Amino acid sequence: MKFFRRSKKSISEPKTSKKSQQQAYDDVERDKYRLYNGRHDQQYTLAAERSRVFANWLKLPPPVLERVFAFVCPHACDESYENCERSAVEDACMLCDLRDLAHAGKVCKLWRASAIKVMYVVAASASPA
């Protein structure tokens, strides 16, 4: 029952941990940087005011995204009735392309909708109407 015994160290002694020492070191380095770059506070507040980064490629229209995704995963848009061995490009991996397309679909909701359209176009065209 050794693990139930209390420690004999007094509670009033301050505990110095490696994490607090690292945090103190980081604070000192941050202060040095602020002395070196006087605009640091202005730049930081400007960046903190923006809630998200504006990126033009996140606002592409769905037809453009579908075309880009078709280049990422070309066999997804293959409408021929050849088997996968004959229709495959020799230096490409179909599973890798499909994985890349699935990962691209995780960027945002708009990209997900377009990626799903490209990934499942074969299933939609093969289903009976």
By CB atoms closer than 10 A (0-12, 13-18, 19+), residue 106 is exposed
Q: What is the Cα Rg of the chain in Å?
A: 28
Q: In the chain, how many H helices and how many E strands?
A: 7, 0
Largest CA distance in the chain: 79
pTM over 0.75: no
Tens-digit pLDDT string for the chain (129 aa): 555 566 666 555 555 556 677 777 777 777 776 666 666 555 555 555 555 556 777 788 999 999 998 888 887 777 766 666 665 656 667 778 888 889 999 888 888 999 999 888 744 444 455
Q: Residue 89 CA to chain centroid, in angstroms?
A: 28
List the domain boundaries for the chain.
18-49, 56-126
